[in-house]
Amino acid sequence: MDAIVTKNDLKSDAKKESIDLLNARLADAIDLALITKQAHWNVKGPQFIAIHEMLDTFREEIDGHVDIIAERAAQLGGTAHGTSQEVAKATKLKPYPTDIHKTNDHLAALIDRYAAAAKLTRAAIDEAADAGDADTADIFTAYSRSLDKLLWFLEAHTQEKE
């Protein structure tokens, strides 16, 4: 990795670990943002407008975290890898089906991917902390809280008590 020289006093090995970790989770976050729009555009059913509008707010929230994650990589002297080509190569999320339309099918697919992204992000909190980068761990903590909230919103649409 050819890092950009910075006066950030984090140790160089911690910077490298964090930059790699940030880029890994950046790929997942960008993929999740795109997945969210895929569902937003294509969901059909009696709850259409509620789900459609909810997913717009999800995308906005995720985009905020994408920006913070990418900027942290740059702050540490790295390069944020946010192109579609890099994201396609690096994401750990399962491909999103493009042949679904029913609300419940989209909810199930989104729940799986939001849960996976949250799990990867929680692991990243510990990895960043172990590398000695509390600030990156804090960024991942905020993102994790957000993902858990969004996952809850998605699951609430499928969890009726009888």
Q: Decide: residue 103, CB within 10 A, 0-12 exposed, 13-18 middle, 19+ buried.
A: buried
Q: How far apart are the first and last CA of the chain?
A: 56
Do the domain assignments include residue 19?
Answer: no
Residue 89's CATH number:
1.20.1260.10
Cα–Cα distances (Å) from 64 to 29, 58, 67, 101, 120, in that order, read: 10, 10, 5, 27, 18
Of 4-13, 69-78, 116-125, 141-150, give the lowest mean pLDDT range: 4-13
Is 58 part of a structural domain of the chain? yes
d(CA 74, CA 25): 14
For residue range 140-154, what is the model confidence (pLDDT) as tens digits? 999 999 999 999 999
Number of domains into which the chain is organized: 1
Q: Looking at the predicted structure, is the pLDDT value of residue 32 above 60?
A: yes
Average confidence (pLDDT) over 34-51: 96
Tell whether 48 is covered by a domain.
yes
Which range marks the domain in which residue 83 is found?
Answer: 25-157
Residue 92: per-residue pLDDT? 98
- pLDDT band for position 159 (cuts 50, 70, 90): confident
- Mean pLDDT throughout 31-53? 96
Q: Is residue 124 part of a domain?
A: yes
Does residue 20 form part of some domain?
Answer: no
In a domain, 74, yes or no: yes
Q: Which residue has better confidence, 64 or 9?
A: 64
Indicate whether 3 belongs to any domain: no
> For 109-113, 137-141, 157-161, which range has the lowest pLDDT when averaged over its residues?
157-161
What band does 162 get if pLDDT is binned at 50, 70 and 90?
low
